[in-house]
Amino acid sequence: MRQQSFSGLFLAVLLIIFFTLPAVSGELDHFSNLQGNIDIAGGTAHIPVMKDAAKHIMTKYPQITITVAGGGSGVGVQKVAEGLVDIGNAGRPISAKEQKKYPQLRSFPFAVDGVAPTVNPDNIVSELTSIQIQNIFSGEIKNWKDVGGDDAEIHIYSRDEASGTRSVFWKKCLNKGTVVESANIVASNGAMKVAVSQDQYALGYMSIGHLDNTVKPLNLDGITPTQENAINGQYPVVRKLFMNSNGAPTPLVKAFIDYVMSSEGATNISNNGYIPL
């Protein structure tokens, strides 16, 4: 009898605690009283994370419309500074020149990403040194046989100067060296992946978050380019991914930024191959 009374009292206490605790709200609940449009452009490494976040938000709140476009980091910074988009993505910090021209910009880092030298899966080369890559991109080394591959011309693929992916690769792998004028210039990480996957003798570079089995990342100076090695400091060609706003973000834009940087957003970032901050 005493045991039954104790069990009943314990159950009553649990019910009181359950009904008096505040309800736990999901991160998406912050959009419940908001509506409007968010236009996003810039770094192409960001696109999978932005699209997934937009999909989750718009599915639950159809009164909100979010568009996501690329263009490169320089384009993202310029467009947001000029009021053409609400969020300008960049795979690098705002430059000193940009800070001077657009002092109102605010940056929100949300992930760490590595950039990997990449070849076609049929290429027998699996590793290069940074010096070898510098010599290839400068035109000093022109044939794969000189770095342990087939007797075939090396086809170099690069990005334009607006690209944050190019910026970090040029600084941290090429040591700010020369890139031959004959390099094939592609517009995005996605375009790089397609180009390298279709050219057996290509050498390019791309965000680790975009890698899949259609391309092969090369070990660099003996280090495998994984996000784990990027975050623990072993792999050196790394950068942060930023969202930028033109001054203080509006409530809707702030809710989006907060969602990307939330615990739910961290899962989304990890699922797309990046390391959440």
Three-state secondary structure readout of the chain = CHHHHHHHHHHHHHHHHHHHCCCCCCHHHHHCCCCEEEEEEECHHHHHHHHHHHHHHHHHCCCEEEEEEEECHHHHHHHHHCCCCCEEEECCCCCHHHHHHCCCEEEEEEEEEEEEEEECCCCCCCEECHHHHHHHHHCCCCEHHHHCCCCCECEEEEECCCCHHHHHHHHHCCCCCCCCCCCEEECCHHHHHHHHHCCCCEEEEEEHHHCCCCCEECEECCECCCHHHHHCCCCCCEEEEEEEEECCCCHHHHHHHHHHCCHHHHHHHHHCCCEEC
- pTM score: 0.79
pLDDT attached to residue 19: 37
In DSSP terms, 240 is beta-bridged to 112
Segment 89-99 mean pLDDT: 95
The tens digit of pLDDT for each residue in 188-229 reads: 999 999 999 999 999 999 999 899 999 999 999 999 999 889
Domains of the chain in start order, with CATH, are 29-111+240-276 (3.40.190.10), 114-238 (3.40.190.10)
The tens digit of pLDDT for each residue in 252-269 reads: 999 999 999 999 999 999
11 confidence band (pLDDT: 50, 70, 90): very low
The tens digit of pLDDT for each residue in 13-25 reads: 333 333 333 333 4
Token duo for residue 13 = 């206490």
pLDDT of residue 1 exceeding 90, the answer is no
pLDDT attached to residue 273: 86
- The closest alpha carbon to 275, from 213, 219, 226, belongs to 226
pLDDT attached to residue 53: 97
Q: What whole-number distance in Å separates Cα of residue 2 and Cα of residue 114? A: 64
